[in-house]
Amino acid sequence: MKGRILSLSANSELGKLRAMVLRQAGYDVKWPSSKSETEALLGNERFDILLIGHTISGHSAREFADAFRARNPNGKIIVIMATTYIMVKADKTVRAIDGPEALLEALGELLGSNPSAAPMRPAIGE
């Protein structure tokens, strides 16, 4: 595996698709479906990356980022932005309109892997 990612999204379809693309690219991805599950994962597991999707509220994003940094001092945070407003201090930001390619590139930069070797889009029917 290239790295452990905790991927947060308030949009279930977007979250599932993002997790699928990241898994196809060789990442170990946890995608919690509730705030309580997110809190449990942040309290009990370690991750290389916290990925905060643009559908997460600013308050929740800050709360999760603080908990992530406390448990994963060497971890990195990527924020996917829909606007120019950045909700938390991030190691990297990715614009939502730039798609999975931009996210995989950011992950490759932060984790030192080669994003070009990974599939970029899910296959039709998956």
Distance of CA 3 to the CA centre of its chain: 11
pLDDT of residue 99: 87
* CATH number of residue 50's parent domain: 3.40.50.2300
Q: What is the pLDDT of residues 54-74, one digit of tens each?
A: 999 889 999 999 999 999 999
Compute the distance between CA of residue 17 and CA of residue 27 in angstroms, rounded to an integer: 14
User: How many distinct structural domains can be found in the chain?
Assistant: 1
Please give the distance of CA 59 from its chain centroid, rounded to a whole number: 17
Please indicate, yes or no, if residue 124 is contained in any of the structural domains. no
Instruction: Note whether residue 26 is domain-resident.
Output: yes
Residue 100 lies in a domain: yes
Instruction: Classify residue 120: in a domain, yes or no.
Output: no
**Single pTM value for the model:** 0.81
Place of tokens 């509730």: 34
Domain with 87 in it: 4-115
Per the domain annotation, does 17 fall within a domain? yes
Question: Going by DSSP bridges, is the β-strand pair 76-81/49-52 parallel, antiparallel, or unpaired?
Answer: parallel
Question: Is residue 41 predicted with pLDDT exceeding 50?
Answer: yes
